[in-house]
Amino acid sequence: MKISVIGTGYVGLIQAVGLAEFGFNVVGIDIDETKVKQLNKGKCPLYEEGLEELLKKHINKNLTFTTSYEPIKDSDVIFLCVGTPQDRDGNADLRFLFSAVEKIKETISKDDYKVIVIKSTVPVGTNRKVKELLSEYNVDVVSNPEFLREGIAVYDFFNPERIVLGFENLKNKKPIKIMESIYYCFKEKNIPFVITNWETAELIKYASNAFLATKLSFINELAKLSDKVGADIKTVSYAMGLDPRIGNKFLNAGIGYGGSCFPKDVKALIKQFENNNIDPILIKATDKVNEEQIKWFFEKIKNYYGDLNGKVFAVLGLAFKPNTDDLRESRAIKLIDILLEEGTIVKGFDYVKKARENTINMYKFDKTKAFYGYNLYILDDLYETVKDVDGIIITVEYDRFNKEDWEKIANLVKEKVIFDGRNILNVEKIKKLGFRYHGVGR
Ligand SMILES: NC(=O)C1=CN([C@@H]2O[C@H](COP(=O)(O)OP(=O)(O)OC[C@H]3O[C@@H](n4cnc5c(N)ncnc54)[C@H](O)[C@@H]3O)[C@@H](O)[C@H]2O)C=CC1
Ligand SMILES: O=C(O)[C@H]1O[C@H](OP(=O)(O)OP(=O)(O)OC[C@H]2O[C@@H](n3ccc(=O)[nH]c3=O)[C@H](O)[C@@H]2O)[C@H](O)[C@@H](O)[C@@H]1O
């Protein structure tokens, strides 16, 4: 079977490489020429553990990349993995998706049968709309939302919790059989398949992300109270999580969720409610709590110092989560912006080199940030970063921070104060070294 994957970002690239590993002939298509050139040389334009090795294994064998849509003529299945960012009003912006559909229309013949699979996260009704746009073509449209997490995306591709497939008509077995044959390995591993209609599949994706985001906003809001009343939110989370009905995942309080998906998908779900004249009370609150969390944390820092002007901070963590170079909606970047605006000097560090490079580029080329960028220094070494600072701020939940030499760090800093925005540090150890510790809700 020949497969095309349109859009080679975090989702599309992993899909293309993963399907090549399954043995399919795969062509990845992207409008970004630089990306395509890099990929054909076996170089990964984004950081994801294990991805470059797999890319190198298959490139120019059963995997190639191009900017041309021509290869889709020979493809049996076409995956759409283009971005669906947030538009100005909070809706999902489907420009890239519809532009790709237009290109498909211009390229394929009306008679050749193809399965078009929408992997991008799209609002309910989008698969139906795409089918309408392709109504004169011999195609089936399938909704196949993606659930991978950045930072462990390769693992997630090969070990999904479920495969969700939405079809126009469940009596039409042809596209169902084709999709099941693509994901045959997962069938063999007894991974649950949810076969349903388009609308249900589309809603499953938004419901899953919004539920996880709500769990986070719930614990983050509780953390504020915990802080005030002298409770320890980490113990609260732990004890709550012992009840299997609650579960212990996604209960780690912090400075809020970031990334390319939770913030935009929560907002897009709110819009879908509003477009259907329903007030999404709970989901709006999820979003609001998240927006406020970073400001609340900043106030905590400000209250400690009083005047922040001229203070020097080490911000440990730049991306939106560990082991990724992705800065989209990163809470670390949001906090850095606020700190710079307050006249502080920020020394930033992340273990992922590409996250550091992306940060430098962002402050260099984004006009809204360039001004403040003068007081921002991105360093390659954690110990250099903490040298002579008035405080350390942890913004990404790297467990690795605990393995660092804290005695050395204690000797390097100007003032022994830590603001742990992810409640990740071993508090006992830190306090023994004379650090004053401020967590989130503890
Ligand atoms: N990043 C993630 O962890 C996850 C993302 N998703 C969803 O998957 C979709 C893709 O997300 P990412 O991979 O993060 O996006 P991305 O922004 O990293 O990549 C999108 C790619 O599509 C390309 N593109 C745009 N228009 C195109 C066109 N007309 N033809 C060919 N290529 C085109 C872009 O150049 C870019 O390389 C989104 O809907 C997102 O919500 C779903 C699950 C996880
Ligand atoms: O649709 C998507 O794009 C993806 O969004 C999330 O994946 P991702 O954004 O890569 O990362 P997560 O691990 O979910 O973390 C999201 C944010 O929540 C924060 N988080 C996570 C867990 C926690 O306990 N506390 C917490 O603050 C992280 O720091 C991060 O900023 C979902 O977990 C994936 O299932 C989904 O496919």
In angstroms, what is the span from residue 263 Cα to ligand 2's centroid? 10
Nearest residue (by CA) to ligand 1, atom 5, is: 11
Residue type, 310: G
In angstroms, what is the span from residue 177 Cα to ligand 2's centroid? 32
Q: Are 255 and 335 in contact (CB under 8 A)?
A: yes
Q: Are 442 and 233 in contact (CB under 8 A)?
A: yes
* Average per-residue pLDDT for the chain: 96
Question: What pLDDT does 373 receive?
Answer: 62
Q: Is 80 exceeded by the pLDDT of residue 423?
A: yes
Sequence-distant contacts of 260-264: CB under 8 A, at least 24 apart: 260/10, 260/83, 260/85, 260/150, 260/320, 260/326, 260/328, 260/329, 261/121, 261/209, 262/209, 262/212, 262/213, 262/216, 262/290, 262/329, 263/86, 263/287, 263/290, 263/329, 264/85, 264/86, 264/92, 264/329
In angstroms, what is the span from residue 419 Cα to ligand 1's centroid? 34
Ligand whose nearest atom lies closest to the CA of 92: 1
Question: What pLDDT does 155 receive?
Answer: 97
Residue 149 among known ligand-binding residues: yes
Question: What are 139's strand-pairing partners?
Answer: 114
Q: Are 55 and 16 in contact (CB under 8 A)?
A: no
Q: State how far the Cα of 397 lies from the Cα of 388, in Å rounded to an integer.
A: 23
Enter the tokens of residue 196.
Answer: 């349903």
Judge residue 303's burial from the number of C-beta atoms within 10 Å of its C-beta, 0-12 exposed, 13-18 middle, 19 or more buried. Answer: exposed
Q: Is 80 exceeded by the pLDDT of residue 372?
A: no
In angstroms, what is the span from residue 440 Cα to ligand 1's centroid? 33
Question: What pLDDT does 433 receive?
Answer: 98
- Which atom from ligand 2 is nearest to the alpha carbon of 205? 1
Domains (ranges, CATH) in the chain?
2-191 (3.40.50.720), 210-438 (3.40.50.720)
pLDDT digits (tens, 9 = 90+) for 33-92: 999 999 999 999 998 999 999 999 999 999 999 999 999 999 999 999 999 999 999 999
Mutation test of ligand 1: which of 17, 29, 30, 212 has the most ligand atoms closer than 8 Å to its C-beta?
30
Question: What pLDDT does 371 receive?
Answer: 61
In angstroms, what is the span from residue 73 Cα to ligand 1's centroid? 22
Q: Is 90 exceeded by the pLDDT of residue 218?
A: yes
pLDDT digits (tens, 9 = 90+) for 271-329: 999 999 999 999 999 999 999 999 999 999 999 999 999 999 999 999 999 999 999 99
Mutation test of ligand 2: which of 144, 257, 330 has the most ligand atoms closer than 8 Å to its C-beta?
257
- Which atom from ligand 1 is nearest to the alpha carbon of 82? 22
Helix, strand, or coil (residue 436): strand
Ligand 2 site residues, Cβ closer than 6 angstroms: 121, 146-150, 209, 212, 216, 250-252, 254, 257-259, 261-262, 320-321, 397
- Which atom from ligand 1 is nearest to the alpha carbon of 147? 43
Q: Are 251 and 215 in contact (CB under 8 A)?
A: yes
Q: State how far the Cα of 11 lies from the Cα of 21, in Å rounded to an integer.
A: 15
Phi, psi of 414 (to 5 degrees): -80, -45
Ligand whose nearest atom lies closest to the CA of 152: 2
Nearest residue (by CA) to ligand 2, atom 12, is: 149
Predicted complex ipTM exceeds 0.90: yes
238-263 mean pLDDT: 97
- Consecutive H or E run containing 196: strand 193-197
Buried b (16+ CB within 10 A) or exposed e, 162-201: ebbbbbbeeeeeebbebbbebbeebeeeeeebeebebeeb
Helix, strand, or coil (residue 261): coil
Mutation test of ligand 1: which of 10, 126, 147 has the most ligand atoms closer than 8 Å to its C-beta?
10
- Which atom from ligand 1 is nearest to the alpha carbon of 99? 29
Q: Edge-to-edge strand order for the sheet containing 417-420?
A: 376-378, 345-349, 312-316, 391-394, 417-420, 436-438
Question: What are 346's strand-pairing partners?
Answer: 313, 376
**Backbone CA torsion sign across 270, 123, 145, 176:** positive
Q: Is 237 in the pocket of ligand 1 (CB under 6 A)?
A: no
Nearest residue (by CA) to ligand 2, atom 5, is: 261
CB contact set of 54 (below 8 Å; sequence gap of 6+) = 17, 18, 20, 21, 154
Query: What confidence category does residue 364 fall into, taking pLDDT thresholds of 50, 70 and 90?
Result: confident
**Nearest-5° Cα angle at 164, 161 to 166:** 175
Q: Is 82 in the pocket of ligand 1 (CB under 6 A)?
A: yes
pLDDT digits (tens, 9 = 90+) for 374-402: 899 999 999 999 999 999 999 999 999 99
Catalytic residue among 44, 81, 185, 261: 261
Judge residue 85's burial from the number of C-beta atoms within 10 Å of its C-beta, 0-12 exposed, 13-18 middle, 19 or more buried. Answer: middle
In angstroms, what is the span from residue 323 Cα to ligand 2's centroid? 12
Enter the tokens of residue 361.
Answer: 């580029």
The yes-or-no answer on residue 81 being catalytic is no
Query: What confidence category does residue 365 fall into, taking pLDDT thresholds of 50, 70 and 90?
Result: confident
